[in-house]
Amino acid sequence: MTIIITAFERSPDGGRGLARDTRVRWALEEVGQPYDVRPMSFAAMKEPTHLARQPFGQIPTFEDGDLVLFETGAIVLHLAGRHAGLLPDDANARARAIAWMFAAVNTVEPPILERETARLLERDASWYEQRLPHVEGRVRHRLKQLSERLADADWLDGAFSAGDLMMVSVLLRLKSSGMLDDYPNLAAYLARGEARPAYRRAFAAQRAIFTTAQKTEI
Ligand code: GTB
């Protein structure tokens, strides 16, 4: 049975790969699992059929036979546990790689999301200009800590793992911000992630959906 994931039928990022289906596609590509995509409109994401898959009405979701999953961290962890390629064999190294997955979504991503929310939704507020430097300071604080830990290593803990897949996916959200310019080792880390053939296939696949949607509209 082919795995099915859901994704935006028309991503608001214009196919830049920032929506979270990209990290699931990337994990599927890393472990060599073929998949189909069910493109979703915003309206369909709030319908009962999709809410049964994803209680918060979001993408992506993952279906493999009877198993239906949501939350990208859980989906990537599931794939990494079931197939070779994303987690080390050694039990302690495996646990550390999983810790990096949690660090990505639980420690590094939240201030990045806070910054995006501020820039997207709070720009007209009287306090926006005062607040933004504080929000960006919290992002920089995490980037500095991560940069210090990564130092001159290629990946966070030995070989590339699901921890790196999640961390690179989170950092990608800052790509156009210029904030990574102050942390050359993080910029290089991001570039290493993006250069992986599996990432490139995942990026191209999500971009193709956007391009097809554009053509259909014209
Ligand atoms: N914690 C969940 C997970 O990791 O799976 C979060 C899922 C999530 O945020 N999904 C977003 C969604 O469905 C899409 S990825 N949003 C619609 C809704 O909540 O109604 C977030 C996202 C959206 C758009 C861009 N973009 O255009 O740049 C980037 C990221």
CATH of the domain at 114: 1.20.1050.10
53 CB near ligand 1 (under 6 Å): no
Phi and psi angles of residue 38, each rounded to the nearest 5 degrees, phi first = -105, 105
Q: Is 194 exposed, middle or buried (0-12, 13-18, 19+ CB in 10 A)?
A: middle
- Are 96 and 169 in the same domain? yes
Average pLDDT over residues 187-211: 94
Distance CA 39, CA 212 (A): 11
The pLDDT of residue 218 = 39
The pLDDT of residue 215 = 59
**The CATH number of the domain where 212 resides is what?**
3.40.30.10
pLDDT higher than 60, residue 72: yes
pLDDT higher than 50, residue 109: yes
pLDDT higher than 80, residue 185: yes
58 CB near ligand 1 (under 6 Å): yes
- Are 127 and 167 in the same domain? yes
Q: Which residue has the CA at smallest separation from atom 23 of ligand 1? A: 19
Percentage of the chain lying above the pLDDT 90 cut? 92
Distances (CA, A) of 1 to 44, 63, 126: 24, 10, 53
- Are 102 and 59 in the same domain? no
AA identity, residue 137: G
Mean pLDDT for all residues in the chain: 95
The pLDDT of residue 11 = 87
The pLDDT of residue 75 = 98
23 CB near ligand 1 (under 6 Å): no
Distance CA 46, CA 133 (A): 35
Domain span holding position 137: 91-196
- Are 164 and 204 in the same domain? no
The pLDDT of residue 213 = 63
170 CB near ligand 1 (under 6 Å): no
Lowest mean pLDDT among 57-61, 146-150, 152-156, 210-214: 210-214
User: Would you place residue 37 in the very low, low, confident or very high pLDDT band (cuts 50, 70, 90)?
Assistant: very high
pLDDT higher than 70, residue 217: no
Tokens 């720009």, residue located: 123
Domain count, the chain: 2
The pLDDT of residue 211 = 73
- Are 159 and 192 in the same domain? yes
pLDDT higher than 70, residue 38: yes
Closest by CA position to 142, among listed 188, 114, 108, 167: 108
